Amino acid sequence: MSDPNTISCPRCAAPMEIGDVEPLSRVPCPACGERVRIARSFDHFELRETLGTGGMGTVYKARDTQLDRDVALKLLRKDLGPEYANQLQQEARITASVNHPHVVQVFSFGRDHDQYYLVMELVDRGTLDDLIAEQKKLPEADALRAGIEVARGLRAAYQKGLIHRDVKPANILFNAEGMAKISDFGLAGIVEPNAQTSGAIWGTPYYVAPERLNNQPEDFRSDIYSLGATLFHAIAGRPPFDGETMSASELRALKNNPLKLKDVAPEVSRPTASVIARMIAPDPRLRFASHDALILALKKSERVLRGEPEPWRAKAALLIAAATLIALIFFGWIFFSRHRAPANITVSASATPAFDANREFDDGCQQIIDGKYPAARATFARLASETKNQQPIYDWALLNQAAAALLDQQESQMRQALQEVENAGSGGFADPQLGAFFLDTARRANMRSAIVLSDIPDHPAKPFALFLLGLTDVQLGRFNDAKALLETFTLSQPSASLSWIDKYKPIARKYLEDSRAWLAWREQYGSAKSPAEIRSALEKLRALKLQKPTTISAEALLVERTLANRLGEAEKAEKSAQEKQHRDLLAREEPRWNAALESFRRLAAIYNFTGAASAIKKVKLTEPSLRQTQSNYQNAADWLAQWKATLINDLNARTFNGTVVASDTQYSGISGATADKLKVKVPYGSAETTWLKVPAATLVMISSSFATDADRQWRCGVFAWAVGQTNAARQLFDAACSAKPSYKEARKFFDQTKP
């Protein structure tokens, strides 16, 4: 098999090593100096041209040869090895679920030539970054339209639980109609998850939200900040702050004092400047409270820019909303002034007269047990809000909220809950060790790094940490570590005060069973290569009964699709090889067969059926179709030889009385026969003539008169077929098959073949 990392120079045929060469680059031949363009395919995607290079890798225009369409293939950096594969698969799976006109669609994820790749919708009319480089400043109307479209895409993704984390001009693409689309959801956080810890900030610093620099949790408002900084740059032709630095500490100071858009772009309208100023507010609470609010504000700026009046419905809605807000504030003031909670509230007491923290906690636990994860998230979030700074109930609520989000595959909400545990710190606990344990557990779950059993210190709350961190390892695709944690959890014995943790064991057992099944399959079938091995691996994979939807089932589905593609390609290659082998074999053996068949026909034409059978038998064939045809002709030759021998015996023993014409002479019958001659009756005895002088139709008629059973009728039919008496052959075959159905299969050959 040829080495995919070596090619031959098309000019001098010298071998060229291309293992580490970038696809589509031109490499000089070490022997003759010819610059050779390195063509590459990844699975069934043929790379056609380079579209761009970024922090994660290079994007190519590629051809999907299976679906016959152009796609964008992002070839990820080689240093993104197996430790990132599961995160990348998870992000690709979630992003692929976002089907929206302003989000670049993700089609598939795969690995070939030891590199991971993403296959996406092809959007090839450039990026916003290209437009800024070309035009310096974009017209305000164009920037607003792009901002509205990107905000809609971000909203659709957020409804699936996704935040982008890296909104910037290079990730905003345009199609042929000029429509903006946002790409690369969530991948930046995976590619360089630990960059902040080194004191530098990854990516382009202009668009990074300040909360990331402060190690605070990110949410959709971080994307709003990045989009605002992007629109500022597009309209003003410069970023929203002076100075360039990659230091997180220096960036904090710069971002806390952004430039005013009107100062650097006086021509911009005041509504647009106001919207962008709110988008890039350093404090997330001062930004827009939802994507809908942002889109409404951008659309209002667009209407003002076009000189259109504001719709009366929008004005009415704003007035109603304002009146409602004032009323709520007024009545809320009255309510809280009358129902102010006592200052000495305890953990077991209600935060408000209508709120029972213990009952709320029990309800949330039961919702997790029942698989009602969204409801559990809401319950524990409400409990955390009502018990703010009341430990340990506050941290218990947040940790259970994180567990519910993790089980519901809502990673951003899980990370936010864990970050709030970290922000709360270890103070305020009657048991300082418990506070430190909670803080350590939250940090480990939020680090996105390997969590092993030995990392978890002993503590009465350890069973819950085993459960939460085991699920975290599952979510990160570290199934061996997850198995150890979940096994230990299922064997643990929580103290009486924490007996509620025991009720989570059935959930853990399901994930433990899935982890074991997946690891066992991967160990046995993960290295399948041949078509037979891949086929067997697919069968076993499809037989796995994994709960859905989980990270394990998502990975299994992706592997199943990859194996199915590999099997299709392998079977296609195998079929192609077999077809070539068949053609080559036919080319070698057909001349020998044709010569034998010609000998058969020549000998059969002179009724030398024994010789005809010998000519067929002696040719050596291995090609299956030729061997089958040879077998059919051999059977025919044997039947013909039997037909002639039987007829000779009949004529010698019983004679034939009836008119026989041979060479224009009429005889009254045949009194005997040998292999070469027939004895015909004359008035005063007999005379000899050759078999060939008697018409074939007469011989068919004579032999048929003796054919009293199915076998003799069959052999007469074969002779009729051999001498071209088609109608007679059909009638004789019909009679033989009716009396003896076992001849029906053999008859197919004679019905389909001319003698």
- Which is catalytic among the residues 64, 129, 166, 223? 166
Both tokens assigned to 537: 């691996």
* Angstrom distance (rounded) from CA 114 to CA 187: 19
Please report which confidence band the pLDDT of residue 81 belongs to, taking 50, 70 and 90 as the band edges: low
At 189 the pLDDT is 43
Residue type at 389? N
Q: What is the pLDDT of residues 583-629, one digit of tens each?
A: 888 899 999 999 999 999 999 999 999 999 999 999 999 989 899 99
Q: Where in the chain are all domains bearing CATH 1.25.40?
A: 357-525
In 3D space, the residue among 117, 120, 42, 45 whose CA is nearest the CA of residue 85 turns out to be 117
- For 72-118, the DSSP string reads EEEEE-TTS-HHHHHHHHHHHHHHHT---TTBPPEEEEEEETTEEEE
Q: What is the dihedral of CA 357, 362, 364, 365, to 10 degrees?
A: 140
CA distance 89 to 631: 56
Give the contacts of 383 (CB within 8 A, at least 6 positions apart): 357, 360, 361, 364, 393, 397
Whether the CB-CB separation of 182 and 167 falls below 8 Å is answered with yes
Output the CA angle 358-359-365, nearest 5 degrees. Answer: 90
Residue 689: its H or E element: strand 685-690
CA proximity to 61, closest of 114, 104, 124, 130: 124
Query: Measured between alpha carbons, how far is residue 55 from residues 77, 80, 108, 109, 121 in Å?
Result: 8, 11, 20, 18, 19
Instruction: Give the three-class secondary structure for 137.
Output: coil
Q: Which of 76-80, 99-103, 166-170, 577-581 has the lowest mean pLDDT?
A: 76-80
pLDDT at 737: 95
Bridge-partner residues for 28, per DSSP?
35
DSSP character for 430? S
Cβ contact 123:181 at 8 Å = yes
Q: What are the backbone dihedrals phi and psi of residue 436, each rounded to the nearest 5 degrees, phi first?
A: -65, -35
Evaluate if residue 712 carries a pLDDT over 90: yes
Give, in words, the CATH class of 123-321: mainly alpha
Q: Indicate the range of 195-209, 527-541, 654-668 predicted with least confidence.
A: 195-209
pLDDT bin (cut points 50, 70, 90) of residue 203 is very low
| Residue 20 a catalytic site member | no
Give alpha helix (H) positions in 453-500. 462-475, 479-491
Distance separating alpha carbons of residues 558 and 93, to the nearest angstrom: 9
669-687 mean pLDDT: 91
pLDDT digits (tens, 9 = 90+) for 491-509: 999 999 899 999 999 999 9
**In 3D, which of 291, 266, 262, 267 has the Cα closest to residue 279?**
291
Q: Write the CA distances from 345 to 391, 404, 421, 567, integer angstroms.
A: 12, 27, 21, 65
Rounded to the nearest integer, the mean pLDDT of the chain is 84
pLDDT band at 199 (very low <50, low <70, confident <90, very high): very low
Could you report the per-residue pLDDT of 441-455, keeping only the tens digit for each?
Answer: 999 888 766 778 888
Q: For residue 496, how many other CB atoms are within 10 A of its CB? A: 5
Residue with tokens 């150890």: 484
Residue 47 CB coordination number (10 Å): 19
Query: What are the pLDDT digits (tens) for 639-663?
Result: 999 999 999 999 999 999 999 998 8
Residue 413 pLDDT: 85
Please work out, in degrees rounded to the nearest 5, the angle formed at the alpha carbon of residue 212 by the alpha carbons of 207 and 214.
125
CA 124 to chain centre: 23
Four-residue CA torsion sign, 111, 113, 114, 120 = negative
Tens of pLDDT, residue by residue over 452-483, are 888 888 999 999 999 999 998 888 888 888 99
Query: Picking from 59-63, 187-191, 365-369, 415-419, which range would have the lowest pLDDT averaged per residue?
Result: 187-191
Greater model confidence, 578 or 372: 372
Q: How far apart are CA 157 and CA 127, in angstroms?
A: 20
Its CATH class, for the domain covering 357-525, is mainly alpha
- Residue 319's Cβ-count burial label (10 Å; 0-12, 13-18, 19+) is exposed
Residue-level pLDDT at 211: 83
> How far apart are alpha carbons 547 and 560 in whole angstroms?
16
Q: How high is the pLDDT of residue 84?
A: 64
What is the rounded end-to-end Cα distance, in angstroms, of the chain? 45
Across-strand partners of 19?
none
| Closest-CA residue to 554 (of 450, 476, 448) | 476
User: Do 532 and 554 meet the contact criterion of CB atoms below 8 Å apart?
Assistant: no
Residue 23 DSSP SS3: coil
**291 compared with 562, residue with greater pLDDT:** 291
Instruction: Summarize the confidence of residues 324-347 as an average pLDDT.
Output: 41
Eight-state DSSP code of residue 127 = B
Q: What is the pLDDT of residues 340-376, one digit of tens each?
A: 332 222 343 333 445 788 999 999 999 999 999 999 9
Residue 309 binned pLDDT confidence (cut-offs 50, 70, 90): low
Residue that the structure tokens 């098959």 belong to: 737
Where are the CATH 1.10.510.10 domain residues in the chain?
Answer: 123-321
* pLDDT of the residue at 196: 39
CA-CA distance, 464 to 471, in Å (whole number)? 11
**Least confident span in 72-81, 372-381, 427-436, 492-501:** 72-81
Residue 45 forms beta bridges with which residues?
42, 64
User: What's the rounded mean pLDDT across residues 333-341?
Assistant: 38
Check pLDDT > 60 for residue 732: yes
Rounded mean pLDDT of 69-92?
76
In SS3 terms, 503-565 reads as HHHHHHHHHHHHHHHHHHHHHHHCCCCCHHHHHHHHHHHHHCCCCCCCHHHHHHHHHHHHHHH
In whole angstroms, give the CA distance from residue 51 to residue 61: 6
DSSP structural state of residue 496: G
Q: Above pLDDT 90, what percent of the chain?
A: 50
Average pLDDT over residues 182-198: 52
